[in-house]
Structure 1
Amino acid sequence: MPRRGAFTRDFPAIEPEPVVLAGTTGARVVHATGTRKSTVSTSRLDPSRYQSSRLAGELADEWVEYMAAAELSPGTVRAYQQAIDLLCVSVDAELGRDAPNASLAVDQPDLVRAAAAWERTLPSGFPLCFDSSGALGGGDPAADPQT
């Protein structure tokens, strides 16, 4: 056993992680592995689909980081994606012309009111939001924003 102070090696240098800025362009993609490790599900979230694209980009960046860290199931990954989608659609409707200025980093426009309005719509909209396959839109292709 070495004596105190006899160690000559130091801890390895910590490499800085690349910085991902919120609001980067393009769709965010998460790959989730199912319970059978052979199945991989891919979920995509494109902030440019929303008027509140800045907010959507911030939420999408957090979504990607959290899903990678937590290693959640594909169903849970989709549930988070759909929650972000529904929130951003609601923020767009609630804020109107101010939606492009919506961000987690600023006080105005007031996201608290928009989030409260979204929260009030959740109980009544839940059965109608998803069709039998779990896809957003209730089975009506005209109402499905991803088609």
Structure 2
Amino acid sequence: MSQISEEEKQYVVFRLGSEVFGIDINKVKEIIVYQEPTHMPGSSEFIEGIINLRGHVIPIFSLRKKFNFPEAGDMGKTRIIVVEAGNSTVGIVVDGVSEVVMISGSVIEKPSSLLTSTVDENYITGVAKMESGLVIILDLEKVIGRDMAEAI
């Protein structure tokens, strides 16, 4: 496995089931408590619906469905991470946001198809080896780009 650049970046770390993911903090606009979206007939299977966020209607995207994870049981810690992906503002539903961390490129390795059996390796920038465990770094543009284009 080859390594990514040595540059240090900040990532928002969140959980989906037992897996830990990270996304570039520069893509994150805010993190809000989960609110039930209004369902939109005919939308992509990965779109849970829409919410009104301070006067702006934004689609809510399910990473859980995208990655074929089982439905969540407890919704108590569920959050919506509002992100900028492409030219769209989108909310992604996660099981919980744990922290914002600085991760050096020196601890991030390119993904291997052996490591990423449940998540398409094209969606992954790399895997960070942290003291607390592995963090899968997602490429948001690739994860939700095409689905959002179809949904809007």
The TM-score, its normalising length taken from structure 1, stands at 0.26
Question: Which structure: greater strand fraction?
Answer: 2
Q: Which has the higher contact order (CA 8 A, sep 6+)?
A: 2
Higher gyration radius (CA):
1
Question: Which structure: greater helix fraction?
Answer: 1
